[in-house]
Amino acid sequence: MSGNTNSNNQNSEVHSQIMWNRLISIVEEQALTLVRTAFSTSVREAGDLSAGVFDREGRLVAQAVTGTPGHVNTMAAAVGHFINDIGPERIYSGDVYITNDPWKGTGHLHDITVTTPVFTGETLIGFFASTAHVVDVGGRGYGPEATEIYEEGIRIPIMKWAERGKLNTDLVNIIRNNVREADQVVGDIHGLAASNETGRRRLVAMLDEFEMDGLDDLAEFIFDRTRKATFKALEGVKKGSYKNVMRVDGYDHPLDLVVDLAVSDDGMHADFTGTSPISKFGINVPIVYAQAYFTYGMLVALAPELPNNYASLLPFTVSAPPGVILNATEPDPVSVRHVIGHFVTDLCLGAIAQALPERIPAEGAGALWNFQASARSADLADPRPPVEVLMFNSGGSGARPEIDGLTATAFPSGVMTMSAEATEQVGPIVIWRKEIRPDSGGDGEFRGGLGQVIELGPIDGYQFEFSAMFDRVDHPAKGREGGKDGAAGKVYLDDGTPFPTKGVEIVAAGRRIILELPGGGGFGDPADRDPAARENDQVQGYVS
C-alpha cells in the first residue's frame, strides 16, 4: 500500500506541474492576444501591459511573462476590488469589468484594467484580468502639470463594460467623448476584453480536457510550492533592519526617498517614513505602485526564477505615513507616478545591499524618459488634425557584481521602446538619430550600462506641445562598492539651447530636440577592471 500511495502522490504532483505549465501558456497567449489586437504603440510595440489568471477569491494564480512589474503586481491586488465593488451576487457569465481608478488599479488613469469572470456551467471558478497603458485619457494629457486627479483625465470607476455579453454602449460613448484618440483608446479596451476572452476559452477547454472541476486544487498546489520556495529564498537574508536614502530630482525641487527595510521570519516590510512630502505636481505615487516595485526588486534579488503569484507576493508588505510622496491619496495628482515610483526598486535594493553586497547591482537610470507630445498645427491658417505621440525610452541600468550593466534597457519597468518606424508611422515625427551615448556608464570593475542619444522633431507643418518629465538630470545614478556614478541626463535643442526637463514646452516647427539619457552606476573599484574589457570599451566606442 505504501508503494502505491507514493506512486499516486508522485503522479498527482507531476499532473499538477503539467497543469501549472499549461496555465502559464494560457496567460502568455492571453498577453500575446492583447499585443496583436492593440491599437496603441505602447501596447503592441512596447509591451506596457499585464495579463493573468486568478482564482475565484481574486488571488493571482499565474501571470504572463510579457508585461511590467508595475502592472502585474498592482493588478494582483485589483481583482479583489472588482469582486467587492461589483458584488458577488452581480457577477454573471458573459460579464466584462473595467476601471482605471489609480487606487484600485495600477496607480494612474492612463492604465486601464479589464477583468472577466470565468464560469463552468453556473459555477464561478476564477477570473482573467489584463492591463494596458493607453495613449490618452483626456484632461491635461500625460504629464505632471495637473494639481488634482480631476484634471488628469476621465476616471472610470469599477463598472461593467459588458453584462451577460451585452456591451455597455453608454460607457463606450462617454469614453469616446472624453479622450483625444477615441479609436485607439476604445480599440485598446476591446483588445483587453478580447485577451481575457482568449484566456477564458483556453482555460475552459483545459478543464474539459483533463476533467477538472475548477482551479481550486491547482491554485492551492501552486501557492503551497511557491510559498515554500519564497521563504527558502528569504532564509539567505540576515534578520534585521536596513535603511537607505536616495535623492532624486523631483519636479520643482529635489526629493528624498527613504526606506527602513525590516527582515523577519514573516517576510520583508518596507516603511517609507521620512520620505519627502506630496508634490503639488503629478509625480505622486499611490502606495500600491510603490509596493509593486518594492516586491519586484526583492524577488529579483532573492529568487529571480521564482514564479510570480499570490504566494510569492504575500511576504512583502509596505507602509508609509499619509502625506509622503510614496503614499498619494485622493485627490493627489498621480499622472506620471512612474517618474518617482520606478526609483523604489533601487531605493530598496540599496537597503538590502547591506545584507547582500555580493548580489545587488549599482543604481541605474531608473525612471523611463518618455517622449509624450501633442502634435498641433504650427500655423493656425493651415490647420492640421491633432495627433498624440508617445515613445518610451530608457537609460542604462546599474552594473552588476559580476557583469556590466545593460545599455538602454528599462529597469525596473522592463518595457521595450517603440521602434522609430512604428513611432513615425502614427504621427508627424521624424527620429533623426538614436544611438548609444558614449561615456555615460559609470566606471568600475564592472561598467554601468550606457544611456542613449535620441534626436527627433516634428514635420509637415506641425509643432510639439511637449510634456517633459525627466529625472536623473541633477542626481545621477550612484555607483556601488567603489564604482563611479553614471552620467547625468541632458536635454537641449539642435542649436545647443538648453531645454527644460520639467513642464510643458514647445518644440517649434523645423526644430529638433536632443535627449541624452542617463547611464547606470559602476560596480567595484575601476582599478580592478579587466584590461581586455577596457580595450573592448574603446573598440566598441563605449568610452571615448
Q: Give 113-158 pLDDT, tens digit per residue.
A: 999 999 999 999 999 999 999 999 999 988 889 999 999 999 999 9
Q: Can you tell me the mean pLDDT for 455-468?
A: 93
Confidence at residue 1, expressed as pLDDT on a 0 to 100 scale: 47
**Strands of 41-141, DSSP E:** 49-55, 60-63, 96-99, 111-120, 123-133
Round the average pLDDT of the chain to a whole number and report it.
95
Q: Is the pLDDT of residue 324 over 90?
A: yes
Q: Give 48-65 pLDDT, tens digit per residue.
A: 999 999 999 999 999 998
Binned at pLDDT 50, 70 and 90, residue 2 comes out as: very low
Q: Can you tell me the mean pLDDT for 314-338?
A: 97
Q: How many CB atoms lie within 10 A of CB 500?
A: 11
Q: Is the pLDDT of residue 10 over 80?
A: no
Confidence at residue 472, expressed as pLDDT on a 0 to 100 scale: 97
Binned at pLDDT 50, 70 and 90, residue 6 comes out as: low
Residue 296 and residue 166: Cα distance in Å, rounded? Answer: 38
For cell 524618459, the residue is 369
Least confident of 13-17, 183-187, 494-498: 13-17
Q: Can you tell me the mean pLDDT for 65-85?
A: 93
Domain borders along the chain are 2-214, 235-357, 361-544
Q: Is the pLDDT of residue 9 over 70?
A: no
Q: Is the pLDDT of residue 492 over 50?
A: yes
User: Which residues on neighbouring strands pair with residue 43, listed in sequence order?
Assistant: none
Contacts of 375 (CB under 8 A, 6+ apart): 386, 387, 388, 389, 427, 428, 429, 458, 462, 463, 464
Q: Can you tell me the mean pLDDT for 455-481?
A: 95
Residue 133 and residue 295: Cα distance in Å, rounded? Answer: 21
Residue 215 and residue 197: Cα distance in Å, rounded? Answer: 17
User: Which residues on neighbouring strands pair with residue 55, listed in sequence order?
Assistant: 126
Cell numbers found for residue 230:
519564497
Calculate the alpha carbon distances from 107 to 327, 328, 330 in Å: 11, 9, 11
User: For the whole model, what pTM was predicted?
Assistant: 0.94
